[in-house]
Amino acid sequence: MKRKRVATRKNNWKVVITFRGEVKRAYAMSELMLRVRFSECVKRYWGEDANLNLDQATTLDYKNWYGKTYTLKHESIDYHIIHVADVVRKAAAILGEMGGKAGKGKKKVRGDSEYYRELQRKGVVARES
């Protein structure tokens, strides 16, 4: 019987790559690995060589960056980098608003289907933002 490997670290970085009208995503544990994953993704899906240059990226906010890079054939690639760790914490905070032991009333009652639908909606909102 095979033992399952337990993940020790999570992919805290995400890059969304837009090239030739297609959108692809790559994930990594660190900024350095994100550069490698970016190049691998571009090579795998489009057969082009390109490097991720974070020095030229524009900061949108504390966890989002946007930039443009070029392939060796001088084609433009757009990318959007997201530090996912903060997004996960925010989603957990939103989902935790309804739970807890303190207080009473409708918001603290768990178990009915409406409660879980509301949790799912809040999770979707957190992931989209």
What is the C-alpha R_g of the chain?
Answer: 19
- Name residues whose C-beta falls within 8 Å of residue 109's C-beta, 6 or more positions apart in sequence: 115
Instruction: Give 8's pLDDT tier (boundaries 50, 70, 90).
Output: low
Nearest one of 67, 66, 69, 63 to 82, comparing CA atoms: 63
Tens digits of residue pLDDT in 71-99: 999 999 999 999 887 666 777 777 766 65
More confident residue, 120 or 40: 40
Domains of the chain, by residue range, sit at 13-85, 86-128
Q: 3-class DSSP state for residue 73?
A: coil
